[in-house]
Amino acid sequence: MAYPSQLGFQDAASPLMEELLHFHDHALMIVILISTMVLYTIMAMVTAKVTDKLILDSQEIEIIWTILPAVVLILIALPSLRLLYLMDEINSPHLTVKAVGHQWYWSYEYTDYEEVAFDSYMIPTQDLAPGHFRLLEADHRMVVPTESPVRVLVSAEDVLHSWAVPALGVKVDAVPGRLNQTTFLVSRPGVFYGQCSEICGANHSFMPIVVEAVPLYNFETWVTLMAEDS
């Protein structure tokens, strides 16, 4: 969960988000090095007269600043491609959940269980319990087991939506008539918040996503209670 005056991303709750944070830091260091080198070159040209010979008429310098951008692109592209393939990999999920976006709420269907399906609406501000977060709490949470690969099938009933949970490193467009999918593995118990990240209408900012990760035993108990209530 984010907190006031926070710098950087939320704490990672999945291996995928940890990889995304590592790639962000890797790319940021390259940007800092490039910015420092360009700033140094500009300052040297402004302050030193001998720079005209060393930089403007140097064959070696021209070779370096032609090859160096290609090397930088390779240093960014290789880990980026690895991460893209990792994000698209769906490898034997233990649980499949279908998330459908509506104006303006989410509905969830646990496809491995015939009778477990529910709608998830934002809790109005006047009904919030102590400790709940305004505009982020939902009346029904999406409950998943920890340390288990979870596949999420995402679609929409009416307009474009986007199912996004920053702490899990997940953001998938919900497109009417199409079925997108993503996978994640929650590495620790907790409650993780997200919101629709597509401008989907007047109440776009009022359809939160709440993912609660619990141990497998507690998840099985929850599934049994949900099936009995339905």
Spatial distance between the Cα atoms of 200 and 101, rounded to a whole number of angstroms: 10
- Cα–Cα distances (Å) from 173 to 23, 152, 154, in that order, read 22, 12, 7
CATH topology classification for 95-229: Immunoglobulin-like (2.60.40)
Task: State residue 95's pLDDT score.
Answer: 93
Spatial distance between the Cα atoms of 141 and 123, rounded to a whole number of angstroms: 11
Per-residue tokens: 49: 């007269």
Q: What is the pLDDT along the chain (230 residues), one digit of tens a residue?
A: 667 777 778 888 999 999 999 999 999 999 999 999 889 878 877 776 555 555 556 677 778 878 988 999 999 999 999 998 888 887 789 999 999 999 999 999 998 887 899 999 999 999 998 888 999 999 999 999 999 999 999 999 999 999 999 999 999 999 999 999 999 999 999 999 999 999 988 888 899 999 999 999 999 999 988 887 76
Hey, what amino acid is at 187? S
Q: 171: burial class by Cβ within 10 Å (0-12, 13-18, 19+)?
A: middle
Show me where the domains of the chain are located. Answer: 15-88, 95-229
Give the contacts of 1 (CB within 8 A, at least 6 positions apart). Answer: 10, 133, 167, 191, 192, 193
Report which secondary-structure segment, H or E, holds 84: helix 59-88
Task: State residue 25's pLDDT score.
Answer: 93
3 state DSSP class of 100:
strand
Of 107, 86, 111, 87, the residue nearest 97 (C-alpha): 111
